[in-house]
């Protein structure tokens, strides 16, 4: 979303108002989450943002997972031969995080999967490219619940439920955000 020149509230394409600092939906000129106030004399702007659809997001995820499958398996195999499976799982998550970080910190903010389906990641507050910190937070949440696998077989069910909740969340939010988008204050838009 384009910034309104320092204002704290923006009107999204869905007619909702969003805090320009944290991206939280609000019903007033005051954000109850971060405490930012629009103040006086602010100009509110509408945006031309078109949020990525759920199937586009699923498609991008499938493509990225197919691309990451072989490198991740190589790392899992190589590391697990000399060490235990916990270190191998962590190493595999690092490989995936490196892929996401390198591609999403470029100005286009697109993984190969995003490019293939015509989407990109943006900063929820101003519509610009996400910051490196936002990318770390975005992947960090996914990595956190992925690391639960190291707790054993019962945790695999928990990981699956976390991934399912995260994946389905865009179906229930006005800005079509996953939990990791909300945590990182990012959105995914069509290109």
Q: Are strands 119-123 and 186-190 parallel, antiparallel or unpaired?
A: antiparallel
pLDDT at 19: 64
Same domain, 137 and 168: yes
Does the predicted TM-score (pTM) go above 0.85?
Answer: no
State the residue range of the domain holding 126: 54-190
> If you count DSSP H runs as helices and E runs as strands, how many of each does the chain have, helices first?
6, 5
* Average model confidence (pLDDT) across the chain: 81
Same domain, 121 and 136: yes
Number of domains comprising the chain: 2
Query: What is the distance between the alpha carbons of residues 70 and 80, in angstroms, rounded to a whole number?
Result: 15
pLDDT at 9: 47
**Cα dihedral 20, 121, 143, 62 sign:** positive
Same domain, 83 and 38: no
Question: Per residue in 113-136, pLDDT tens?
Answer: 999 999 999 999 888 899 999 999
pLDDT < 70 positions in the chain: 1-30, 33-34, 37-48, 82-83, 153
Same domain, 19 and 88: no
Same domain, 29 and 74: no
pLDDT at 155: 76
pLDDT at 153: 66
pLDDT at 147: 81
Query: What is the distance between the alpha carbons of residues 144 and 61, in angstroms, rounded to a whole number?
Result: 18
Q: Quickly count: other Cβ atoms within 10 Å of residue 165's Cβ.
A: 12
Same domain, 81 and 128: yes
């Amino acid at each position: 979303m384009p910034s309104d020149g320092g204002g704290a509230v923006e009107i999204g394409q869905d007619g909702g108002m969003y805090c320009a600092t944290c991206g939280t939906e609000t019903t007033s000129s005051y954000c109850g989450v971060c405490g930012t106030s629009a103040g006086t004399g602010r100009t509110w702007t509408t945006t031309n943002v078109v949020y990525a659809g759920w199937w586009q997001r699923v498609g991008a995820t499938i493509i990225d997972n197919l691309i990451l499958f072989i490198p991740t398996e190589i790392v899992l195999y190589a590391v697990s031969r000399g060490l235990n499976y916990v270190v191998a799982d962590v190493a595999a998550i690092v490989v995936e995080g490196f892929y996401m970080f390198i591609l999403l910190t470029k100005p286009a903010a697109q993984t190969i999967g995003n490019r293939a389906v015509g989407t990109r990641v943006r900063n929820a507050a101003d519509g610009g490219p996400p910051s490196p910190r936002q990318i770390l937070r975005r992947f960090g949440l996914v990595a956190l619940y992925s690391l639960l696998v190291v707790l054993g077989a019962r945790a695999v069910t928990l990981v699956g439920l976390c991934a399912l909740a995260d994946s389905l969340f865009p179906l229930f939010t006005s800005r079509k955000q996953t939990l990791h988008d909300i945590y990182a204050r990012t959105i995914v838009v069509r290109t």
